[in-house]
Amino acid sequence: MGILNRIISSTTLRHYKKRFKSWKKKKGKSTAVYDWELRDARDNAYIRSLLRYELKENSVCIDVGAHRGAFLSQFIEFAPNARHWAFEPIPSFAEELRKKFPSAEIQNCALSETEGLTTFLYIPELPGWSGLKSQPYPIAVKPQNIQITVRRLDNIIPQNQIISFIKIDVEGAELEVLRGAESLIKRCKPIIFFECAKIHHTNYSTTPEEVFDFFKKCGLDIYLMDQTGPLTAKEFISIYESSHNSGYDRNAWGNYLAMPNKK
């Protein structure tokens, strides 16, 4: 049994459903609990336990697609003596992060495998769905085109900097970010939290096979958030497809961990 299973073996979706209903009732909200809320609660519990266990006080972490700073705040909490990096392309969000987390290095740019200027689709109605390419949004939206800078992580992080953990959530562009950080990943072998969901790959050519092969090349294995694994290529592809076919129900997986292989 993996360390995460030992740490939070009591974590259940039933627990989160009960907790959300109680919280919503206190807030005067509808007590209906959506599948995405349960998935997020499950994954957030797993990742918080992992960060608490793995990070040391001086472990340097990178938050790619920092948004409002949910991950960055935990990096600072569990590794308070490190100067963490955060990348956020939406200018107003990046400015908020600078004010909220003055100890972190906040970069107002997107990451990819190339560098330059590009158009970014900002979605005011669903900021978390903003990205470099359009997606099948769950509600009607009016995207706003903004010009942003795109950088490669390998050209930003100093060669002598050891990175312990990387979080990547960029609405379908995860593989491009990874390719732009290949040297860093091979050098540091960090734990990587990454999103990989077919719904976000609509306008990308990304396949789960490519993602699996990238990590294998870098010496990392893929695990579910509960640390089931390491997954074979066949297992990873099957979960990727079945999660999409389920409509991303409460038992689906869209987030994964890549961890140094033990060979």
Q: The tokens of 185 are what?
A: 């990943």
pLDDT attached to residue 2: 42
CATH for 163? 3.40.50.150
- Which one-letter amino acid corresponds to residue 245? N
pLDDT attached to residue 263: 67
pTM of the model: 0.86
In terms of DSSP H, where are the helices of 1-90? Answer: 3-7, 13-26, 35-54, 70-78
What averages of pLDDT result for each successive group of 10 residues across the chain (263 residues)?
38 44 49 75 95 98 97 98 98 97 98 97 91 86 95 97 98 95 98 95 92 98 97 98 93 96 81
Quote the domain boundaries for residue 39. Answer: 3-260
Our CA angle for 96, 97, 102, nearest 5°, is 115
Cα 70 off chain centre by: 11
Q: Give Dmax over CA atoms of the chain in angstroms.
A: 52
Domain count, the chain: 1
pLDDT attached to residue 193: 98
Task: Note whether 211 and 175 are within 8 A (CB).
Answer: yes
How far apart, in whole angstroms, are the C-alpha atoms of residue 143 and residue 161?
Answer: 37
